[in-house]
């Protein structure tokens, strides 16, 4: 169980990074990455709101919108309703009010945090990564625990990407970039190269590690096909090869 | 008449929402690996931005400025729900390929940005034109990027074979990072030849 959560988190941060693989939250990513402080501030705010909004939208979907979700009311006519087409408008309303609420709470109890984070919070309502995460969660049918881990780790992935870009842009200031490419054009190309870097992680398929354990039937069927080519290779030669590599 | 032309044509070339105003980049990158999906996405966004500009411009005198964001968001999400339902009913395969990105039109900064910057101050006729213009500007970039990626990545254009058999498909073009590089180059080209606006960075 715990392994599943860790896999999901690693998958979200590195393999399916919400920004570098799905391009969500690009607008604020590009506009707020000029300075390191604002990048960090916005990144933390995104982690915060994603961690709260994903489980909340999960609850909205599970208990109000999905087909037969209203069965807990006990009324038969309500139990037959399928309100899932209202998803978009409910999620965005939850996100908008959540952002307002978080702003109020932080302002009241953590004034120091508010002064550094405050200006970024309103931006988050229209950050596509927040709504995008809720929609992905719906599409993939996550459970409560998964949606919590998913929200948090997507936020971490986003944070990682924006801080990395801010750091690179700081260095680029000292290099000679063609005039038309300065600023935004270069930010795009740097992000492209970063995304290439993150593609290296996509070779790691974390899902199969967990999936193989409960399904012993699947490898048994494939086994004969896999054995056929290995017969040609003498066993000691294979051992030597392995030792050589080590 | 000249004014109508300006509102309609400007966002397509000089004042392009993606490469100049840097709005709505998110979805522009994700759906452009094929021309077909780019086209459907472009039509969907043009409809939503035109519709939301019209509705918000009609209501502009009734909306209290304090809650205008919520009003705008609900107008936009209603339109997006409509578009999504129509897509699911008429082109189910395409809507599956676009997955969450139709829903993400809600948070597409072009729609929100045009509502805030234009429709709240201008009468309905101009607002509709502005919506169409910006929708077309977005569509133009989407189709350019989609065309480049599909021709070099799969050797086809909207499903038709265009490259000779000897051409080996460049799988790189179908991967997400290539979209960043192509848009970066487009911005470079536009700033060098058209707008001459340069940033100090």
Structural contact between residues A129 and A24, judged by C-beta atoms closer than 8 angstroms? yes
DSSP code of residue A213: T
Would an 8 Å CB–CB cutoff place A111 in contact with chain B?
Answer: no
pLDDT in tens, A127-173: 888 988 998 988 888 999 999 999 999 999 999 999 999 999 988 88
Tell whether the model's pLDDT for residue B107 goes beyond 70.
yes
Nearest to B181 by CA among B148, B158, B151: B148
- pLDDT higher for B86 or A107? B86
Is the Cα torsion angle B79, B80, B83, B86 positive or negative in sign? negative
pLDDT band at B154 (very low <50, low <70, confident <90, very high): confident
Chain B residue at shortest CA distance from A31: B22
3-62 in chain A: CB under 8 A from chain B: 20-27, 30-31, 34
Nearest to B198 by CA among A26, A171, A185: A185
Nearest to B102 by CA among B50, B176, B57, B40: B40
Closest CB to B78 among A89, A182, A192: A89
Q: Please give the ipTM for the structure prediction.
A: 0.81
> How far is Cα A161 from Cα A23, in angstroms, rounded to an integer?
11
pLDDT attached to residue A207: 59
* Contact across the interface for B112 and A126, Cβ inside 8 Å: yes
52-91 in chain A: CB under 8 A from chain B: 85-89
Mean pLDDT computed over every residue of chain B = 85
pLDDT band at A206 (very low <50, low <70, confident <90, very high): low
In this prediction, residues B126-138 reach a mean pLDDT of 91
> How far is Cα B166 from Cα B156, in angstroms, rounded to an integer?
13
* Contact across the interface for A23 and B30, Cβ inside 8 Å: yes
* Contact across the interface for B27 and A128, Cβ inside 8 Å: yes
- pLDDT higher for B27 or B78? B78
Mean pLDDT computed over every residue of chain A = 79
pTM of the model: 0.80
Would an 8 Å CB–CB cutoff place A101 in contact with chain B?
Answer: no
Nearest to A178 by CA among B189, B109, B71, B11: B189
- What are the beta bridge partners of residue B156? B161
């Amino acid at each position: 169980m715990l392994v599943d959560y860790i896999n999901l988190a690693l998958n979200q941060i590195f393999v399916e990074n919400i920004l570098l693989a799905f391009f969500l939250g690009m607008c604020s990513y590009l506009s707020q990455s000029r300075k390191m402080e604002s990048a960090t501030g916005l990144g933390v705010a995104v982690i915060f709101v994603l961690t709260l909004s994903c489980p909340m939208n999960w609850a909205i979907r599970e208990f109000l919108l999905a087909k037969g979700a209203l069965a807990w009311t006990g009324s038969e006519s309500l139990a037959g309703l399928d309100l899932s087409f209202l998803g978009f408008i409910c999620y965005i309303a939850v996100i908008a009010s959540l952002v307002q609420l978080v702003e109020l709470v932080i302002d009241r109890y953590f004034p120091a945090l508010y002064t550094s984070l405050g200006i970024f919070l309103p931006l988050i309502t229209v950050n596509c990564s927040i709504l995008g995460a809720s929609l992905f969660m719906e599409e993939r049918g996550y459970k409560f625990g998964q949606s919590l881990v998913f929200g948090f780790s997507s936020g971490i992935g986003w944070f990682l990407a924006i801080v990395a870009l801010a750091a690179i842009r700081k260095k680029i200031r000292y290099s000679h970039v063609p005039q038309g490419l300065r600023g935004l054009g270069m930010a795009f190309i740097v992000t492209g190269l970063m995304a290439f870097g993150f593609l290296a992680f996509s070779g790691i398929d974390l899902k199969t590690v967990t999936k193989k354990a409960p399904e012993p039937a699947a490898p048994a069927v494939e086994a004969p096909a896999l054995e056929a080519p290995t017969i040609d290779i003498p066993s000691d030669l294979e051992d030597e090869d392995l030792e050589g590599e080590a | 008449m000249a004014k109508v032309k300006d509102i309609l044509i400007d966002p397509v070339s000089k004042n392009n929402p993606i490469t100049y105003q840097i709005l709505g980049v998110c979805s522009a990158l994700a759906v452009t690996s094929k021309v077909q999906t780019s086209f459907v996405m472009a039509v969907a966004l043009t409809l939503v931005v035109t519709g939301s500009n019209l509705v918000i411009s009609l209501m502009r005198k009734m909306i209290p400025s304090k809650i205008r964001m919520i009003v705008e968001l609900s107008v936009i999400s209603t339109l997006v729900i409509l578009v999504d339902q129509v897509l699911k009913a008429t082109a189910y395969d395409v809507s599956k390929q676009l997955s969450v990105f139709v829903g993400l039109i809600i948070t597409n900064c072009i729609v929100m940005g045009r509502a805030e910057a234009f429709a709240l101050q201008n009468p309905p006729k101009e607002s509709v034109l502005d919506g169409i213009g910006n929708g077309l500007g977005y569509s133009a970039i989407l189709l350019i990027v989609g065309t480049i990626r599909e021709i070099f990545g799969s050797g086809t254009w909207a499903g038709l074979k265009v490259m000779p058999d000897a051409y080996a498909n460049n799988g790189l073009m179908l991967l997400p990072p290539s979209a960043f590089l192509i848009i970066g180059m487009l911005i470079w080209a536009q700033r060098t030849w058209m707008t001459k606006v340069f940033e100090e960075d």
